[in-house]
Amino acid sequence: MAMLRSIAAVGIAKQSGKGAAAAVPAYGFGVMSGNVFQAPITQVYEAMTLPGGASDRFSPAVNRTDVVPGAAFKTRLWPSSSGLWLLAALGTNVDSGPVSGVYTHTITPALDVPYLTLFAKLTTGEFEKLPDCKVQEITFTFTERGSIELDVVVLGLVPSLSTASWAATVDETVNTYYTPNGGTFLVDAGSNVPAAAQVKAASVKIGNNLAGVPLSKSVLPDDLVPGQQIVEGTLGLIPNDFGDWKKVLSTGVAGTVVKEKPVYGSFSLKYQIDANTDLTLAALRVPMLTDFPPADPSGGPVEVDLSFLVARPTDASAAFTATDRNTVATY
């Protein structure tokens, strides 16, 4: 019988440090698409002259130079594992609470990010384990009333192939996942005080620009070092006026000339499952770009799309903050 690719799962757990692989995943869930495990190989032809036989226009060999294991998949944004993903993408977490059984996790950027152990399953009997992973990038996306999608790319070091089966401590697939319904979305394209906005869609990507450490002893990376941190994305609005477009291009809502200097805005996106479970993504120094919206003879509302790239604050505050409220005590 052929193997079923609809039988697949991912598990994740935080490590105490490099080389301290987790025994079992803290959280497990299914995926919507993508690769729960991958190990792309780089091989190059040997460049060598040959004596002149009939097949001597072919290279005599190949050299394997690089294998970078990891995973790249799309899943939902689940309430219990959301904080671990954000901690792995940003670097620092401060727990507080409980208040009536609810904990608050304030997650902000750091110079490095923690290691994870990734567990993967495809079909009924194939299990992989990848310790010492770091998050290359995660992206939170929603459009209109569709559920929030989480796109994840992780890279790791030395995989264990065809390992023993595993079961996650918390199976997220039985939990309610985040949607934008009931959320609170604040945007201001020209100040650090975001206000209620008519948001139709949003995408927020956190990237770490990881680079592998290429020691000569192995084709596998020896470590993963983060580069420049990038938080970028888009905010799709259906506004009642051209205020945010004017704030980006001109001197404000009443502006009549193009402003010579860049303008910094802000946003706060709060997703909520219930009174005790919500997640807020926010940044307060955010240069934005936009253009005049197009006309359409078929009608419909005018839409203004703001693209953004979060900038470093001028003070000691965090450039980007994720505030996660749930019943998880700590990450």
- Alpha-carbon distance of 233 to 314, in angstroms, equals 21
281: confidence class by pLDDT, cuts 50, 70, 90:
very high
Start-end of H helices in the chain: 82-90, 243-249
Q: What is the mean pLDDT of residues 67-79?
A: 97
In a domain, 60, yes or no: no
Do 115 and 133 form a contact (C-beta atoms < 8 A)? yes
296 to 289, 293, 301, 327: CA distances (angstroms): 22, 10, 9, 47
Structural domain boundaries enclosing 196: 8-38+66-326
Q: Do the domain assignments include residue 112?
A: yes
Closest CA to 156 of 110, 118, 202, 186: 118
What is the predicted pLDDT for the residue at 27? Answer: 97
Above 90 in pLDDT, residue 1?
no
In a domain, 317, yes or no: yes
- Distance of alpha carbon 226 from alpha carbon 155, whole angstroms: 11
For residue 58, being part of any structural domain is answered with: no
The reply to whether 54 falls in a domain is no
Phi/psi zone of residue 221: left (φ > 0), alpha (ψ -120 to 50 degrees), beta? Answer: beta
**What sections of 27-154 are H helices per DSSP?**
82-90
Task: Average the pLDDT over 58-62 and give the result.
Answer: 93
3-state secondary structure at position 245: helix
Q: Average pLDDT of 81-87?
A: 98
State the average pLDDT for the chain.
Answer: 95
**Residues 150-197: tens digit of each pLDDT:** 999 999 999 999 999 999 999 999 899 999 999 999 999 999 999 999
Report, as an integer, the average pLDDT of 106-129.
96
Give how many domains the chain has, as a whole number. Answer: 1
Q: Is residue 230 part of a domain?
A: yes
Query: Which of the four pLDDT bands, split at 50, 70 and 90, describes residue 20?
Result: very high
Q: What whole-number distance in Å separates Cα of residue 136 and Cα of residue 161? A: 22
Band of pLDDT at residue 44, cut at 50, 70 and 90:
very high
Residue type, 234: T
Tokens 């697949």 belong to residue? 8
- pTM for this predicted structure: 0.95
Low-confidence winner among 30-39, 247-256, 284-293, 317-326 (lowest mean pLDDT): 247-256
Classify residue 331: in a domain, yes or no.
Answer: no
290: exposed, middle or buried (Cβ count in 10 Å: 0-12, 13-18, 19+): buried
Angle made by CA atoms 36, 37, 43, in degrees to the nearest 5: 145
Would 43 be classed as within a structural domain? Answer: no
Helix (H, G, I), strand (E, B) or coil at 74: strand
Tokens representing residue 92 in the block:
């620092």
- What is the band of 2 on the pLDDT scale with cuts at 50, 70, 90? confident
For the residues 47-51, what does the mean pLDDT come to? 92
What is the C-alpha R_g of the chain?
23
The CA distance from 310 to 294, in Å, is 26
Q: Which residues pair with 140 in a beta bridge?
A: 150, 204
Residue 172 to residue 331: CA distance in whole angstroms = 15
pLDDT digits (tens, 9 = 90+) for 190-231: 999 999 999 999 999 999 999 999 999 999 999 999 999 999
Q: How far apart are CA 170 and CA 261, in angstroms?
A: 49
